[in-house]
């Protein structure tokens, strides 16, 4: 039975019925708790439902991947988180994971295998690109036609894992006008949140990184700043507010853009 908006199972609920999802949606901490990021979660889930993907979430059994602890230098805490998560994932015989967070994506994909967690891990922009290419999702067209969109590369999707094209392919399907910032792809400027910076104040400097990045984005005179990471989303949203442009420019996740293009 396909998932519906009223029926989004956790993996344990499925297991109780003796079923396995094809793919596990790893929601991540931001996607679970942050009010803004929860909207991305909901948009992505809506897309999964539209595409009739058999998926489940871990729900209360999901825990931080350990990425911020690892990047802060606490390898102990990281590995405890990782091993606990791997035990859960292996217990449910998870084969494929999709996640809306590039940090979770990077950690699950690159750092879990060495600790016994071997899964096919994809970022949601890669997954959405595939669904579009397979015709499981179609864009009604219109709503973003001609809109100026600039894409902010998340470091942990781009440089960290060499994925620059999937999010752009999705944006092109929206028939929007994709405008690159002066630093993009391999040279994309960080939003300032990575490496556990999200959870602390920045060191003294002349400006904040998210402001510098927002300025680069604003140079493209965008209608929309597209992001592929809940943390980038927060940083860019704050940057746009700082520049008092929030009435004019929206910061939106690729999933949100695609979901809105579906609704029309």
Residue 205 CB coordination number (10 Å) = 8
Q: Please choose, out of 14-22, 37-45, 142-150, 248-256, the segment that lies near another protein by the rule CB under 8 A.
A: 37-45
Both structure tokens of 181? 């910032």
Taking CB under 8 A as the criterion, the residue among 187, 221, 241, 248 binding another protein is 187
Please provide residue 206's backbone torsions phi and psi, each rounded to the nearest 5 degrees.
Answer: -90, -25
Q: Please choose, out of 118-126, 139-147, 183-191, 243-251, the segment that lies near another protein by the rule CB under 8 A.
A: 183-191
Q: Does 151 help bind another protein (rule: CB under 8 A)?
A: no
Taking CB under 8 A as the criterion, the residue among 23, 51, 69, 257 binding another protein is 69
Question: From CA 34, how far away is CA 17, in angstroms rounded?
Answer: 31
Question: From CA 5, how far away is CA 49, in angstroms rounded?
Answer: 7
Encoded one letter per residue, x for contact with another protein by CB under 8 A and - for no contact, window 88-117 reads ------------------x--xxx--xx--
Per the CB < 8 A criterion, the answer to whether 209 and 191 are in contact is yes
Inter-CA distances, 190 with 53, 86, 194, Å: 32, 29, 8
Please provide residue 19's backbone torsions phi and psi, each rounded to the nearest 5 degrees.
Answer: -115, 160
Q: Does 84 help bind another protein (rule: CB under 8 A)?
A: yes
Taking CB under 8 A as the criterion, the residue among 36, 198, 243, 262 binding another protein is 198
Taking CB under 8 A as the criterion, the residue among 6, 18, 244, 247 binding another protein is 6
Q: Does 10 help bind another protein (rule: CB under 8 A)?
A: yes
Both structure tokens of 154? 């998340």
Taking CB under 8 A as the criterion, the residue among 179, 196, 242, 262 binding another protein is 196
Q: Does 178 help bind another protein (rule: CB under 8 A)?
A: no
* Nearest approach, Cβ of residue 87 and another protein (Å): 8
Write the burial class of residue 186 (CB in 10 Å: 0-12 exposed, 13-18 middle, 19+ buried).
Answer: exposed
Task: Select 5 or 93, whichever has its Cβ closest to another protein.
Answer: 5
Q: Does 71 help bind another protein (rule: CB under 8 A)?
A: yes
């Amino acid at each position: 039975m396909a998932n519906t908006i009223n029926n989004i199972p956790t993996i344990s609920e499925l297991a109780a019925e003796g079923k396995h999802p094809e793919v596990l949606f790893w929601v991540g901490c931001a996607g679970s708790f942050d009010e803004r990021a929860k909207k991305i979660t909901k948009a992505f889930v809506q897309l999964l439902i539209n595409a009739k993907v058999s998926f489940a979430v871990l729900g209360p059994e999901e825990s931080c991947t350990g990425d911020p602890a690892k990047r802060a230098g606490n390898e102990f805490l990281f590995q405890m988180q990782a091993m606990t998560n791997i035990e859960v994932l292996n217990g449910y015989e998870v084969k494929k994971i999709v996640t809306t967070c590039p940090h979770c994506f990077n950690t699950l994909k690159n750092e879990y295998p060495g600790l016994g967690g071997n899964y096919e891990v994809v970022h949601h922009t890669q997954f959405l690109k595939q669904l579009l290419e397979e015709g499981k999702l179609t864009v009604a067209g219109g709503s973003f036609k001609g809109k100026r969109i600039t894409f902010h590369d998340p470091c942990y999707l781009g440089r960290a894992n060499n994925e620059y094209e999937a999010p752009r392919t999705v944006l092109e399907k929206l028939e929007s006008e994709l405008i690159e910032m002066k630093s993009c792809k391999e040279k994309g400027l960080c939003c300032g949140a990575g490496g556990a910076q999200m959870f602390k104040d920045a060191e003294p400097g002349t400006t904040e990184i998210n402001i510098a990045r927002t300025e680069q984005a604003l140079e493209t005179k965008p209608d929309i700043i597209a992001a592929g990471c809940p943390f980038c989303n927060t940083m860019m949203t704050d940057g746009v507010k700082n520049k008092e442009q929030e009435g004019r420019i929206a910061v939106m996740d690729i999933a949100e853009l695609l979901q809105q293009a579906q609704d029309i």
